[in-house]
Amino acid sequence: MTATSVEAEREYDDQRFTAREVSRTERSKTVCGYFEPDQFIPVHAPDSDVTVVVRSGEGVVRDGDEEHAVSPGSVVTVPAGEDRGVRADGTRLEAVLVTAPPPTDQEHEPVRRGLRTGTFDPDG
């Protein structure tokens, strides 16, 4: 069993969002995500479902062509194969993200490209 807290995992980076992996199996991965204002996880579309639970702050979760405003207590699930991304909206954002199954390294290439170029939607 993995037991931790959002507070215990908290870590911010001035350059990019921080993802603190707290659990991984063949079937799922759980991370605590920490975003400084306007930081983001670039839009990508892996073959896995993701659920984002916002702990604090405000932001946007991309779900296909739609963007959902999120705030503390928001829960958004994006199904496998749909474009998804997370962006802090002018404030620090803390969220727990659960993906099932974990995305592959190849599926995260758009994330790496978006972070290199500073682009929320690198293929958009």
Residue ranges of domains in the chain, CATH in brackets: 16-117 (2.60.120.10)
For residues 52 and 61, is the Cβ–Cβ distance under 8 A? yes
The closest alpha carbon to 62, from 105, 121, 103, belongs to 121
- What's the mean per-residue pLDDT of the chain? 95
Provide the 3-class DSSP secondary structure of residue 98: strand
Distance CA(44)–CA(111), nearest Å, equals 6
User: Above 90 in pLDDT, residue 70?
Assistant: yes
Tell me which amino acid residue 45 is: A
Q: Would you say residue 102 has pLDDT above 70? A: yes
Nearest Cα neighbor of 36 from 98, 91, 115, 102 is 91
pTM listed for this prediction: 0.93
Q: Per-residue pLDDT averaged across 38-65, rounded?
A: 97
